[in-house]
Amino acid sequence: MRKRSASVVPSPGVQISPSTEEKPITHVLPNEIFDSVKDLPPLQRQSALDNYRGLHVDWTLALFRAEKHWGNKSLIQLSLSYNYGGGLPVLVFCKVKADSNKELFVTKQGASIRVLAEIESVDSGTTITLTKPSITILPPKQPANRTVRNATQKTRGKRKR
């Protein structure tokens, strides 16, 4: 088994298939792909973006849209977004098998989805298409259980002076 670098920490409880684990993960976020070419002349951007094809990524994205694929009803076309606070979100597209991803039928828009996949294409706008995706729908973030102590409650006993 190939050793992962220290900066990649799989989410707790997530099983990574052996075929995915064999491929090195590229540590680049969706917005960083577009940031890397923004200062290039417009006619040089697409050829620079083409260098990202074939890289393997491990991203956590938000579900934007899911629908049956128009050409193959056994597939679900996912539209995912990566919001980074820097303007327009990056849209990420991929297709997954409907029968092995039944939980998508009850997943709400905005849900976090972890995607391990290969970059198929990057266009000069803000969209990325992935191929060979393996997805995991992450549980919603729950607020931490904490006890808030009322300001009027005081510790019983003597105070030290």
Identify the domain containing residue 26 by its residue range: 22-137
159 within a domain of the structure (yes/no): no
62-95 burial, b at 16+ Cβ within 10 Å, e below that, comes to ebbebeeeeeeeebbbbebbbeeeeeebbbbbbb
For 25-69, how does the pLDDT look when each residue is reduced to its tens digit (9 = 90+)?
A: 999 999 999 999 989 999 999 999 999 999 999 999 999 999 987
The secondary structure of residue 50, as a DSSP letter, is: G
Residue 10 has pLDDT above 70, yes or no: no
CATH value at residue 45? 2.40.50.140
| Higher per-residue pLDDT: 140 or 137 | 137
67 within a domain of the structure (yes/no): yes
Residue 156 has pLDDT above 60, yes or no: no
144 within a domain of the structure (yes/no): no
14 within a domain of the structure (yes/no): no
Q: Are β-strands 112-122 and 56-68 bridged in parallel, bridged antiparallel, or unpaired?
A: antiparallel
54 within a domain of the structure (yes/no): yes
81 within a domain of the structure (yes/no): yes
For 120-129, how does the pLDDT look when each residue is reduced to its tens digit (9 = 90+)?
A: 999 977 899 9
Output the pTM of the full model.
0.72
150 within a domain of the structure (yes/no): no
Number of domains in the chain: 1
pLDDT, position 16: 41
Contact 151, 132 (CB under 8 A): no
**Average of per-residue pLDDT values in the chain:** 80
